[in-house]
A and B are shown apart, each in its own frame.
Chain A
């Protein structure tokens, strides 16, 4: 079956760095997406990886290892506004997104 695993909740301190891990099992693979979802709001796109390696975009970076079925989202210089759920989604061979349940990130001052 297809599955996306990510931690349910993480806590970090303002100004610090946090890494949110995601492992995936999909039927075929057409890339890995990360979305941010603030409470009560719709998900918003953060990143897309389809090749191995690190993609950096400002304070956020996303990494992919296809051989390990593994990705992480790295958030640097954490701000209070980064408190949100972070959703990992793998795209299968039918170009359908398989979604994880999300990681709730709590930022403390």
Chain B
């Protein structure tokens, strides 16, 4: 596609429910990144994928967070038993990154705004 797309754009959920966020990277981009941004804060790295594998899961805040990527394209970030502190904008980015490590520019999607009541 023309750019990184994410869905849903907004998600309101009740505490304790599970949510699934989707990211569709730029076609041909092999690297995919998930970040979290709380209001007025910088970006917090969560996880990245090179192809379908995730070499670094150290940024995931807890075991309630998981992510997968299939077919080297679409990725889903799942948050189980959501808590109010999970409320944030979840941003996905992709880069060409034919091989890692890479300094290739990351292109961001519009984000999913998650609100946990």
Contact = CB atoms under 8 A, between A and B. Distances in A.
Interface of A: 4, 30-31, 33, 41-45, 48, 50, 87, 89, 91, 94-102
Contacts of A43: 43, 91, 108
Contact of A95 (B4, B41, B43, B101): B101
| Chain B residues touching A, majority SS | loop
Nearest to A93: B101
7 contacts: A42-B4, A45-B107, A95-B101, A96-B56, A98-B45, A99-B43, A100-B42
B41 A101 contact: yes
Interface bracket on B: 20 to 34
Interface of B: 4, 35, 40-45, 48, 56, 91, 100-103, 105-111
Nearest to A100: B42
B110 A95 contact: no
A97 B44 CA distance: 9
Given A42-B91, A43-B108, A87 B43 contact: yes
Contacts of B4: 42
Closest 7 CB pairs of A and B: A95-B101, A42-B108, A99-B42, A101-B42, A99-B43, A45-B105, A43-B108
A98 B44 CA distance: 8
Nearest to B102: A95
B42 A102 contact: yes
A5 to B, nearest CB: 11
